[in-house]
Structure 1
């Protein structure tokens, strides 16, 4: 069971991380809106996880391999969009991990990996306590999707203060050594 304050905290942590780490320039806007149901945009999904003794968080970032997305994340360079995008996804997940470390000391983070977006239909098999999908528009042109899924092992509730989220925005995402 996940409490309402924890649900809101996970969402706010994701919003702060997406707005600062999924953009190629800090001046670019990242608009985030709730998406109905298990909404997925694009044929690729990048999966990242953060795990603790109390919960497992899965973040699926959905991307379309279209001209606008390729231009934004590859900047005209050749290569696989999913590979380039995984770096941004990893930065976003790392920022979320930093926020969550304020509440949970035993976190582990996976390396990102690409999946077909059809995997979203199998999330229910994990019996999640919280699933929410979002539509993201970056710099007015790039359309992404995101699904936040949290599975808990015990009752979970915590509160993240909004001022803590804005303070982390100032961090440059330095490498952490474990």
Structure 2
């Protein structure tokens, strides 16, 4: 079971991470609105996981492999969009991890991997305690989606400090464990 304070805290942590880590320039906006339903919001998914002894949080980032998204995340480079987008997703998830570790010191983070959006309905097989989807608009042009999915092994409820979330804006440096 996930308590209401934990749901609110996870959402606020995600919003702050998305607004600072899913943009290519700190001056770009990232608008986030809750989305009804759990259907795909793009043909591709990047899946990232944060796990502890009490819960597993999956962050699924949805995107289209179209010219606008390609131009925004890849630019003129010869790399694949999925590869570049995984790096941004990893930064976003890492920022979330840094905030959650203050409440759950035993966290681990997975390597991002890509799936087809056709896999999204299988989330229910995990029997999640909390699932919420969001529509994201980056720099008024790029449309992404995000799904937060939390599976718990024990009841969790915590309150993440708003000032800590707002103040947390590191440069995305590499952490060694």
Matched, 1:162 2:162: yes
Deviation at 1:150, TM superposition (A): 0.2
Q: What is the Cα-based RMSD across aligned positions, in Å? A: 0.7
The runs of 4+ residues in structure 1 deviating greater than 3 Å are: none
Q: SS of 1:20's equivalent?
A: helix
Q: Do 1:39 and 1:134's aligned partners in 2 also have CA atoms closer than 8 Å?
A: no
Residues 50-89 of structure 1: pairs in structure 2 closer than 5 A: 50-89=50-89
Q: Do 1:34 and 1:133's aligned partners in 2 also have CA atoms closer than 8 Å?
A: yes
Gaps of 5+ in 1: none
Counterpart of 1:21? 21
Distance 1:159 1:119 in 2: 32
Distance 2:39 2:120 in 1: 9
Residues 1-40 of structure 1: pairs in structure 2 closer than 5 A: 1-40=1-40
Deviation at 1:123, TM superposition (A): 0.3
Distance 1:93 1:109 in 2: 8
Matched pairs, number: 177
Q: Do 1:126 and 1:151's aligned partners in 2 also have CA atoms closer than 8 Å?
A: yes
Residues 87-166 of structure 1: pairs in structure 2 closer than 5 A: 87-166=87-166
Q: SS of 1:60's equivalent?
A: strand
Q: What TM-score do you get using the length of structure 1 for normalisation?
A: 0.98
Gaps of 5+ in 2: none
